């Protein structure tokens, strides 16, 4: 069962800090990049951290959710019927956050994420940490949001995993590199990482799909929009106990029933249904196949039971 969507990331050069009418010109530029993504038939387009004031001499400026930035991005989302991820400083009831806003195809806010782990520089200007890492339902899959320093913290990735994220948009001030791989493998989701200098896609097995540095667009004049088509029906498995279950699946449905890519050096399997109208999760349920994220959670649970003297050991 194919469940593909085209995701676009934007790494754009900020305007000069002394540019007059800088915010409005930045929003116009961001709108143009959404136009580019729409030409690529994108389902979602995402921007870097605090994209509206990035590069400004005072980048930490805060807007309400009905302020000029979200309003402009909502209009573009509605115009092209696509999702937009817009990271910016927000203010709600006098409280400052470093946020990422998901806007749906109708131009409505579908979800807001507040950075869970602001740096000391952010805390010192009054930014308050968020406490949740939700996944938001879209018409192609479940999308989680994360920002920059969050990637250092297992707690954030774990919450995104528990909330069944299939794609996490990580908007940042740096590339992330190998830390993206770590999150993807442990938590089993795609990652779209964007900052002003580079856009990167990582698959559910932690492998880099594409990484595009902005120097190519700066030099050639090409668009700084990087796109990838992702299949949201793919699932990451550990090979422990799953090989026999997969054999039963192929015995019942035939040798082409599912896509399986075995990565033996890492004990991983990338799995996806190839049956029409049957999802990967349907097959996982039918054959009691265990996803990587569920396997790790089970081991963590049973470890604690063993430490408490309550694990019922099975005889050899």
Instruction: Among 231, 263, 288, give the residue marking a domain's end.
Output: 231
Residue 25 — φ and ψ, nearest 5°?
-65, -35
Query: Are 165 and 214 contained in the same domain?
Result: yes
Q: Are residues 252 and 147 in the same domain?
A: no
Domains: count for the chain: 2
Q: What number of other Cβ atoms are within 10 A of residue 265's Cβ?
A: 6
Q: What is the pTM of this model?
A: 0.95
Residue 219 burial class via C-beta count within 10 angstroms: exposed 0-12, middle 13-18, buried 19 and up: exposed
Closest CA to 167 of 90, 229, 115, 258: 229
Alpha carbons 148 and 11: distance in angstroms, whole number = 14
181 vs 129, 130, 191, CA distance in Å? 25, 24, 9
pLDDT at 288: 98
Residue ranges for the chain with pLDDT beneath 70: 1, 315-316
Claim to verify: residue 224 and residue 211 sit in the same structural domain: yes
Residue 195 placed within a domain: yes
pLDDT given at position 201 = 98
Query: What's the longest Cα–Cα distance across the chain?
Result: 75
My answer on whether 11 and 111 are in the same domain is yes
Rounded Cα–Cα distance for residues 108 and 226 (Å): 24
Placement of tokens 């920002």 in the chain: 147
**Does the CA dihedral 114-223-196-182 come out positive or negative?**
positive
Residues 90 and 189 in one domain: yes
Looking at the fold, whether 221 and 113 belong to one and the same domain comes out as yes
pLDDT at residue 1 in the model: 67
Residue 312 included in any domain: no
Q: Are residues 80 and 193 in the same domain?
A: yes
Q: Are residues 212 and 241 in the same domain?
A: no
Domain that holds residue 239: 235-307
**pLDDT of the residue at 163:** 97
Reduce the DSSP state of residue 90 to 3 states and report it.
Answer: strand
Residue ending a domain, choose from 231, 256, 288? 231
| Whether residue 260 sits in one domain with residue 193 | no
- Is residue 314 in a domain? no
Residues 60, 199: one domain?
Answer: yes
Q: How many CB atoms lie within 10 A of CB 287?
A: 19
Q: Are 75 and 209 members of one domain?
A: yes
Residue 315: the pLDDT is: 66
pLDDT tens digits along 148-197: 999 999 999 999 999 999 999 999 999 998 999 999 999 999 999 999 99
Return all residues near 257 (Cβ < 8 A) that are at least 6 apart.
249, 250, 273, 274, 275, 283
């Amino acid at each position: 069962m194919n469940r593909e969507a085209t995701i676009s990331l934007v790494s754009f050069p900020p305007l000069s800090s002394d540019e007059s009418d800088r915010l409005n010109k930045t929003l116009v530029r961001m709108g143009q990049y959404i136009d580019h993504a729409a030409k690529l038939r994108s389902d979602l387009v995402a921007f870097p951290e605090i994209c509206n004031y990035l590069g400004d001499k005072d980048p930490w400026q805060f807007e309400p959710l009905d302020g000029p930035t979200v309003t402009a991005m909502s209009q573009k989302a509605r115009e092209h019927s696509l999702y937009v991820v817009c990271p910016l400083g927000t203010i709600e009831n006098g409280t400052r956050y470093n946020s990422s806003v998901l806007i749906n195809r109708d131009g409505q806010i579908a979800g807001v994420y507040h950075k869970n782990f602001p740096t000391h520089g952010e805390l010192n200007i009054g930014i308050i940490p968020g406490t949740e890492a939700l996944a938001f339902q879209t018409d192609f899959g479940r999308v989680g949001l994360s920002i920059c320093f969050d990637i250092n913290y297992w707690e954030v990735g774990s919450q995104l995993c528990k909330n069944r994220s299939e794609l996490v948009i990580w908007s940042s001030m740096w590339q992330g590199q190998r830390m993206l791989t770590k999150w993807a493998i442990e938590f089993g989701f795609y990652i779209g990482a964007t900052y002003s200098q580079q856009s990167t896609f990582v698959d559910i097995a932690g492998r880099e799909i594409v990484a595009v540095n902005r120097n190519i667009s700066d030099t050639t004049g090409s668009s700084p929009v990087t796109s990838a088509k992702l299949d949201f029906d793919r699932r990451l498995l550990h090979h422990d106990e799953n090989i026999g279950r997969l054999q039963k699946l192929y015995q019942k449905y035939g040798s082409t029933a599912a896509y399986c890519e075995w990565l033996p050096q890492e004990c991983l399997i990338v799995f996806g249904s190839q049956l029409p109208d049957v999802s990967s999760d349907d097959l996982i349920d039918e054959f009691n196949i265990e996803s990587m994220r569920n396997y790790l959670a089970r081991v963590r649970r049973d470890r604690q039971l063993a430490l408490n003297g309550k694990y019922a050991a099975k005889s050899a």
